[in-house]
Amino acid sequence: MNVTDREYALELDRKDPLAHFKSQFVVTDPEMCYLDGNSLGRIPKATITAVNDFLGEWGAEVVTGWGHWVDEAQPTGDLLGAAALGAGPGQVLVCDTTSVNFYQLCLAAVHARPGRKTIITDAANFPTDRYILDGIAKQFGLNLVIIDNENPAIATHERITTQILAPYLNDDVALVTLEVIQYRSGARTDIKSITDQVRAIGALVVWDASHAVGAIELNLDANGVDLCVGCTYKYGNSGPGSPAWLYVSKKIQSELQVPIQGWFAQDAQFEMGAVFERAQNIRGFQIASPSLVGIRCVQTAFSMIKDAGIDAIAHKAAVGTQMMIDLYDAWLAPLGMELNTSRNAKERGGHISLVHPDAAQICVALRQISNVIPDYRTPNSIRLAISPLPTSFVEVWDGFARMRDLVASGQYKEIKESGSRVT
Ligand SMILES: *Cc1c(COP(=O)(O)O)cnc(C)c1O
């Protein structure tokens, strides 16, 4: 059967072992094609119950609730680590935001390599990561190298490791930090080979897996990763502003000290002693009181990911993005769009990126005219995702068919500004 036949997508849905998960999410408009699960996942129905239950729990238990709430960042971290990170227990915390966790781990890494003055990242990295590194470099007089790899050529593993990174590695480097999946292009980085390469020069890597977690298998333990952070609201479906996570491998926990020495990191926390003595386990990386409402959202969403199995999720992301690329070849390339993501499934995650000079207008028109939710990234990218649990193949197929019609008709040109500060 041909991919341009809608039956092709319906058949993929019939064979999809994860198809039944879609009905476990809130979908208020069944006609909408929601292709932005890489920015904000849909809400699981179970989350509504879990949050309500928690509010009752708070009401009934008030302060005594802290007796068990106090440690929830750790078991929730273990759940997230087992479900999505390939991480054994005692190495993951669910806490704070990605930005805060990134700051904490990057600075801990830099201070663990005294005398070295260079931090490396790339221009493709997410803004908050680049801005935080800029702040760290200024504050501590370090040299921040931002590798310029944001040209139109597709970032393959080969390009990122041997051509892009290697020339910058030397014994002045303390820290290298990259995204596992680049937010704009959708390019996936080979975390094992880069971790090995950077370890060989005595430096540390902090990975940001925000666009990868819940879409692909990360195997952090098996890949020998030391440090990693990520959010929970993209493919993690845990809700806007839900707490993020950090991973610190057991083999390195005792060597690192994060800059914010909060009371939750204190070994004998409730003795409230005069001197800071860090807990020697993963709690030594926690700052403060966990957000319980948010943590319950993470628990329900990552329990679903655990039930589904990250391998099955990654497989669906690979098949779904392949279908998108095949539809792009058939329908969108002839309309002047350019694919900016690798054709090798191992070099991408759950989203692809299409480039078009009118991308901004097309994205607004997709929402206003076609009832398709894509994601625009300045200056010219349209990102389109399949979030494996809440999205069906036919939803993606319909979204692409509507985009083809919209672009072919030129109707999007009538659309003006969206008026929103958020793109
Ligand atoms: C989404 C994302 C973030 C978000 O940071 P917050 O602190 O949660 O606002 C950070 N880094 C990357 C790579 C992301 O994709």
Please give all residues whose beta carbon lies within 6 A of any atom in ligand 1, as ranges: 97-99, 126, 128-129, 179, 183, 208, 210-211, 231, 244
Atom of ligand 1 nearest to the CA of 241: 8
Q: Alpha helices, DSSP H only, in 274-375?
A: 292-308, 310-327, 359-365
CA 4 to chain CA mean position, Å: 30
Report the alpha-carbon distance of residue 209 to residue 98 in Å, rounded: 10
Cα-based distances in Å from 259 to 1, 256, 287: 57, 10, 10
Q: Find the 115 Cα to ligand 1 centroid distance in Å.
A: 29
Report the alpha-carbon distance of residue 163 to residue 156 in Å, rounded: 10
Q: Find the 68 Cα to ligand 1 centroid distance in Å.
A: 29
Q: Find the 53 Cα to ligand 1 centroid distance in Å.
A: 29
Atom 6 of ligand 1 has which residue's CA nearest to it? 98
Structural tokens at position 183 = 């937010």
Structural tokens at position 49 = 């119950």
Q: Find the 217 Cα to ligand 1 centroid distance in Å.
A: 19
What's the pTM value of the predicted model, to 2 decimals?
0.96
Residue owning tokens 């669906």: 316
Choosing from 95, 97, 128 the residue with most ligand 1 atoms within 8 A of its CB, the one to mutate for a pocket test is 128
DSSP code per residue over 74-124: HHHHHHHIIIII---TTSEEE-S-HHHHHHHHHHHHHHTSTT--EEEEETT
Parallel, antiparallel or unpaired: strands 338-339 and 33-34: unpaired
Contact call for residues 423 and 376 (beta carbons, < 8 A): yes
Q: Which of 395, 408, 314, 327 has the alpha carbon at shortest distance from 365?
A: 408
Tens digit of each residue's pLDDT, the chain (423 residues): 899 999 999 999 999 999 999 999 999 999 999 999 999 999 999 999 999 999 999 999 999 999 999 999 999 999 999 999 999 999 999 999 999 999 999 999 999 999 999 999 999 899 999 999 999 999 999 999 999 876 545 556 566 666 678 889 999 999 999 999 999 999 999 999 999 999 999 999 999 999 999 999 999 999 999 999 999 999 999 999 999 999 999 999 999 999 999 999 999 999 999 999 999 999 999 999 999 999 999 999 999 999 999 999 999 999 999 999 999 999 999 999 999 999 999 999 999 999 999 999 999 999 999 999 999 998 999 999 999 999 999 999 999 999 999 999 999 999 876 667 777
Domains and CATH numbers, the chain: 6-44+309-414 (3.90.1150.10), 70-308 (3.40.640.10)
Q: Find the 193 Cα to ligand 1 centroid distance in Å.
A: 23
Report the alpha-carbon distance of residue 216 to residue 320 in Å, rounded: 13
